[in-house]
Amino acid sequence: MAALLPWLADVLVVLGLVVLTISVFGVLRMPDLFRSLHAASIATALGVGPLLIAAGIGGSTILMRGSLVLGFMLLTAPVSAHAIARAERHAEDRAAVGEPDPMTGDGWAIPTGRQGLRRPRARR
Amino acid sequence: MHGIVFNLATLWMAILIGVGVVLTLRAGTLLVRVLALELVTTLLIALLALYAGGRHSANYLDAALMLALLAFIGTLAAARYHREGRVF
């Protein structure tokens, strides 16, 4: 049984790498932010999880600390994904109403000239 | 895990991180860039987990935990700034 553990670790590493590759490919290919968000959210639980479990086969200390990392990522990944989706939805609503974008177009908020240096309007 | 699997997996993770950095640099909008940067951080955490397994050391996971914390705070701050024009 103990001789099988390195092979189990290999299988878990390959599984995690396959899921991470699918996730990166999804973010590369999806045309929409929401769909690429869907692809990116897979990487957290199904991609990092098998890698951490494969590392935890080596010893109990690594297993405990790895479960700490995995628990933290499982708690925080939906929150950040929800924040990104909410910001995108709000930007779409703002564009539909025809309000000016406070972020100076669709890219970074790089100050361009006099207008770009103004502080963006605070909105609720 | 075996040494050959560790080496090949590290190489593949490096390729994936390179693709993620290119995605971050070539993103069209701010939110796509934030998303790609968070994906790169997730890949870095996966690389650190791989190293913790390959080198039999738990110290790599401390760095992974810090990286997860910083990615969470950074993503939340950027998304809130994009939505409301200010962070707090």
Interface membership of A105 toward B (CB under 8 Å): no
**A51 vs B53: CB contact, 8 Å cut-off?**
yes
Q: Are B45 and A69 in contact (CB under 8 A)?
A: yes
Split at pLDDT 50, 70, 90, the class of A108 is very low
Percentage of chain A with pLDDT > 90?
Answer: 48
**A13 vs B16: CB contact, 8 Å cut-off?**
no
Q: Nearest 5 degrees, angle CA A18-CA A81-CA B76?
A: 125
Split at pLDDT 50, 70, 90, the class of A116 is very low
Is the pLDDT confidence value at A96 over 90?
A: no
- Considering only A7-21, A76-90, A102-116, B50-64, which range has the smallest mean pLDDT? A102-116
Is the pLDDT confidence value at A104 over 60?
A: no
**Domain assignment of residue B14, given as a range:** 3-84
Integer distance in angstroms from the first to the last C-alpha of chain A? Answer: 59
Split at pLDDT 50, 70, 90, the class of A124 is low
Per-residue model confidence (pLDDT) at position A121: 56
Per-residue model confidence (pLDDT) at position A92: 83
Longest dimension (CA), chain A: 70
**B56 vs A59: CB contact, 8 Å cut-off?**
yes
**Alpha helix stretches (DSSP H) within A30-117:** 33-42, 49-56, 60-97, 113-116
Per-residue model confidence (pLDDT) at position B86: 75
User: Scanning every residue of chain B, which has its alpha carbon at the shortest distance from the alpha carbon of A23?
Assistant: B39
Q: At what angle do helices B30-55 and B59-84 cross, to 10 degrees?
A: 170
List phi, psi (to 5°) of B58.
-85, -5
Tokens of B21: 């950095």
Q: Which of A24, A83, A124 sits opposite B16 (nearest CB)?
A: A24
- Considering only A25-29, A55-59, A113-117, B64-68, which range has the smallest mean pLDDT? A113-117
Alpha carbons B79 and B1: distance in angstroms, whole number: 39
Is the pLDDT confidence value at A119 over 90?
A: no
Q: Which of B19, B52, B72 sits opposite A55 (nearest CB)?
A: B52
**B23 vs A28: CB contact, 8 Å cut-off?**
yes
Per-residue model confidence (pLDDT) at position A118: 46
Q: Are A75 and A30 in contact (CB under 8 A)?
A: no
Alpha carbons A78 and A81: distance in angstroms, whole number: 5
Mutation for testing the B interface, residue in A7, A13, A23 having most B CBs under 10 Å: A13
Percentage of chain A with pLDDT > 70?
Answer: 78
**Which of 9-48 (A) contact B at CB < 8 A?**
9-10, 13-14, 16-17, 20-21, 23-24, 27-28, 33, 36-37, 40, 43-44, 47-48
Per-residue model confidence (pLDDT) at position A102: 56
DSSP class of residue A22?
Answer: H
pLDDT tens readout for residues A10-65: 999 999 999 999 999 999 998 889 999 999 988 887 899 999 999 999 888 999 99
Element spanning B53, H or E = helix B30-55
Q: Are B1 and A54 in contact (CB under 8 A)?
A: yes
* Domain count along chain B: 1
Per-residue model confidence (pLDDT) at position A120: 54
Per-residue model confidence (pLDDT) at position B27: 86
User: Average pLDDT, stretch B50-72?
Assistant: 92
